[in-house]
Structure 1
């Protein structure tokens, strides 16, 4: 029995569980193991249609587009057209200012790695939304440039990973400006056609439109597609499970493709200098802590009371919101030490210290900063699956679709999962990837 047949029963079970949940409509799963591959379809392309998705059904793949944008960057860098460490501002039109941290520029690599310190979304996006079901449609290039002119970053670029749709969209935008052609045309010429991906596109042909599965929101109601004219590089592509398997095969065997150097560049781990963030915001943190302690000392604040806890927590919360995780940690430590000095160990340690460090720790976990990310890739995310194997993966989500692709470098296995429902499929993809690795005998990879 082949590797895929061993895993197919689990794919059937995972799909059945997903489709039993309210709101989920259809699912296509692609499994790749060595020379074997299969595309499996479940549910319906639309409620009541009776049509089961298959390998050629077209879905929005959302943020998986970011992997292709990073590959476009790596290819351009490999040909000498740009450098990975080139400042983004050098590719923007005259009159558009790229934010920097104390003179340190954000580079093209920072955008692809999600280490730019740019926020997830531009602050002026909300003002441009005319249709909540298609939120990026009316965000124009002029809006992006206006945001950049006013933007600030609070951390050294390259010092921490923080996922940014803004950064990926900006990367696609500046690469298109550099080449002097639209992002979709540039991507097709440099990445899609060389890899044999004829069914991956933004604008669809009549045949692809006929194969497009309508999207459904989290409750299973029909919803509109997303258009991302300015942020195309962040999530505008549509594709099929068959094409995603072709793309995964290229990543598993780069030497068999014309984009070998670029594929390998995207898979290579890149260090994150997270220790450079430790000193960010400490003066602000100490000032907030001092203000809290002054209030506690000068105004009757019963130690151990709710008012006392509020006064002790406020500096850490304000520093977290203002300057980030490390500033919050500095504020918590300073406030704790001050409470110990003012009130002694009984009140300083139990209500103040424990609560402060629980709050800061939870904030770090929720923000993804704990543990600090030690390495990143161009485009890809990293996860451990199965018995310790390192997988490279990315997911995607738009108003009516969810997607996942992943593979284990140095192995023979990959998984693609596409859904026309707005409920996550990551757990399915990661579980099947680990199961495939175990069935194929591919052990942990560095």
Structure 2
């Protein structure tokens, strides 16, 4: 009867938890703009992992747009690295009017960097990721890791911070080869700004954005009410910001309409700094790069990504066709843009092996830890009962061959052994520690924390969310069985009591802090 009750509790908890399953993003049925384009986008994208997509297709002088799903605000999306093309175009525009030359060295334009390793790097090397600089500079690894886990902003640097980081930056062995560097592009923008004597945002607005009429493209401020970014699994994340890295795309936002205007101007050749798109250097794999813009076969493009957004901008100059795709989750949109340009791209389900592996491990822990603890308690109870029966029999036998007083003494000895066996706790052995009530409390707390953690950060785009409910049901069944056995368990068994109580307190506090942190994500 006991096991029927425990099973029923597990089933009920699993069933109720189905009401609270993780909710990965799905592209909703709503849309605005061109119905025909919306249908093409759905065919190219599917629905899993996307919350909204803002798309523009440019055919010669004609532009078609569609907004699918819910952006969570005005459809002004973080562009990420797509904004690097603006920095490349700024360089090309300044070269065109003689303000700088592509082979000008950083140290000649910013005297404070003349003695640094980076002082010998040219503007063209920065614009084409051939400087030898690392991918990031002036970014705290701890902050970056925490932002990755929590969905926060890993940046925040201002312009002086970029120049300060450049003073101590070391060039790698790959100088002259294309090695993608956010730091290099950020430094390019800040060097150009320092040389001209204008902030980067002001300079690129004056030279690129305003002449093209890109009034919805934001490089520094992010007003409230704009599109909200999400992980593909459904969790909302913070916006990225940091004017120091703005030339690399941090904190930049735009619309499909604005970027379509940019693409149309690139196709017609009238964009300021349009020469930035001309392929100049080999980037490997049949790809070439200009100043910011990459070219694969006939398509010139750049993509971008932040904590909760993805973007793709590309055009085929020969076919006079271009595309813009903006999404507000961290699922890539490159393949959508490429298909809309007529390229044959395999339709693959998004995969994140590391996230999937972590999710499976956490689910396994949640599902089996408490049932195993309960099993250890049950096995220990049976072993303790056997020891008690054997001890009691020995005492009676000993008493049978002696005088009454001796029998009483023998019986007392047997009783003492029974009490000692009960105090040792139950379970234990080679593979599992002895089970006591303190260990049960710690185990239940850890299982609860893992349940919250895997719900919020699990890879539910790849793994069906129902597995969370199943694992929670298993944990509930184990907890119920432990609760039924609690009266037979000692409070504390092996180990030094002070150490056991201290570690238990730390474990419970850590679980509580983890739950509090996860619930704020």
Give the TM-score band, short-chain normalised.
Answer: 0.5 to 0.7
Match of 1:413 in 2: 321
Give the secondary structure class of the aligned counterpart of 1:418.
strand
Partner residue of 1:41 out of 56, 62, 67: 67
Q: Does 1:166 align with 2:183?
A: yes
CA RMSD of aligned residues (A): 2.7
What does residue range 171-320 of structure 1 map to in structure 2 within 5 Å? 171-204=188-221, 209-210=224-225, 212-235=226-249, 236-255=251-270, 257=271, 259=272, 262-263=273-274, 265-272=275-282
Give the secondary structure class of the aligned counterpart of 2:322.
strand
In structure 2, C-alpha distance between the alignment counterparts of 1:76 and 1:395, rounded to whole Å: 24
In structure 2, C-alpha distance between the alignment counterparts of 1:374 and 1:425, rounded to whole Å: 19
Can you give the 5+ residue segments of structure 1 that lack an aligned partner in the other structure?
Answer: 273-367, 385-389, 437-446
| TM-score, normalised relative to structure 1 | 0.63
Give the secondary structure class of the aligned counterpart of 1:198.
coil
CA deviation after TM superposition for structure 1 residue 205, in Å:
7.7
Match of 1:423 in 2: 331
What does residue range 10-159 of structure 1 map to in structure 2 within 5 Å? 10-15=40-45, 17=46, 19=47, 21=48, 23-46=49-72, 57-94=75-112, 97-99=115-117, 105-122=120-137, 125-126=140-141, 132=147, 133-155=151-173, 157=175, 159=176
Match of 2:414 in 1: none
Per the alignment, do residues 95 and 117 of structure 1 end up closer, same or farther by CA in structure 2, a change over 3 Å counting? closer
User: 2:138–2:165: 8 Å Cα contact kept in structure 1?
Assistant: yes
In structure 2, C-alpha distance between the alignment counterparts of 1:238 and 1:427, rounded to whole Å: 21
CA deviation after TM superposition for structure 1 residue 35, in Å:
2.8
Work out which of the two has the higher radius of gyration on C-alpha atoms and give 1 or 2: 2
CA deviation after TM superposition for structure 1 residue 142, in Å:
4.9
CA deviation after TM superposition for structure 1 residue 78, in Å:
0.8
User: 2:76–2:253: 8 Å Cα contact kept in structure 1?
Assistant: yes
User: 2:287–2:296: 8 Å Cα contact kept in structure 1?
Assistant: no
In structure 1, C-alpha distance between the alignment counterparts of 2:311 and 2:213, rounded to whole Å: 21
User: 2:220–2:241: 8 Å Cα contact kept in structure 1?
Assistant: no
Q: Taking CA–CA contacts closer than 8 Å with sequence separation of 6 or more, which of the two structures ends up with the larger relative contact order?
A: 1
CA deviation after TM superposition for structure 1 residue 97, in Å:
4.1
Per the alignment, do residues 378 and 205 of structure 1 end up closer, same or farther by CA in structure 2, a change over 3 Å counting? closer
In structure 1, C-alpha distance between the alignment counterparts of 2:113 and 2:64, rounded to whole Å: 51
In structure 1, C-alpha distance between the alignment counterparts of 2:162 and 2:288, rounded to whole Å: 29
Q: Does 1:377 align with 2:290?
A: yes
In structure 1, C-alpha distance between the alignment counterparts of 2:152 and 2:125, rounded to whole Å: 28
Can you give the 5+ residue segments of structure 2 that lack an aligned partner in the other structure?
Answer: 1-33, 345-521
In structure 2, C-alpha distance between the alignment counterparts of 1:7 and 1:45, rounded to whole Å: 18
CA deviation after TM superposition for structure 1 residue 5, in Å:
8.9
Any idea what the Cα deviations from partners look like across 1:16-53, whole Å, max 9, x if unmatched?
A: x1x2x1x421111111112322111111123xxxx8xx
Partner residue of 1:403 out of 287, 302, 311: 311
Aligned length: 307
Per the alignment, do residues 9 and 424 of structure 1 end up closer, same or farther by CA in structure 2, a change over 3 Å counting? same
Give the secondary structure class of the aligned counterpart of 2:325.
strand
CA deviation after TM superposition for structure 1 residue 123, in Å:
6.7
Any idea what the Cα deviations from partners look like across 1:310-360, whole Å, max 9, x if unmatched?
A: xxxxxxxxxxxxxxxxxxxxxxxxxxxxxxxxxxxxxxxxxxxxxxxxxxx
CA deviation after TM superposition for structure 1 residue 408, in Å:
0.7
Per the alignment, do residues 13 and 406 of structure 1 end up closer, same or farther by CA in structure 2, a change over 3 Å counting? same
What does residue range 425-440 of structure 1 map to in structure 2 within 5 Å? 425-434=333-342
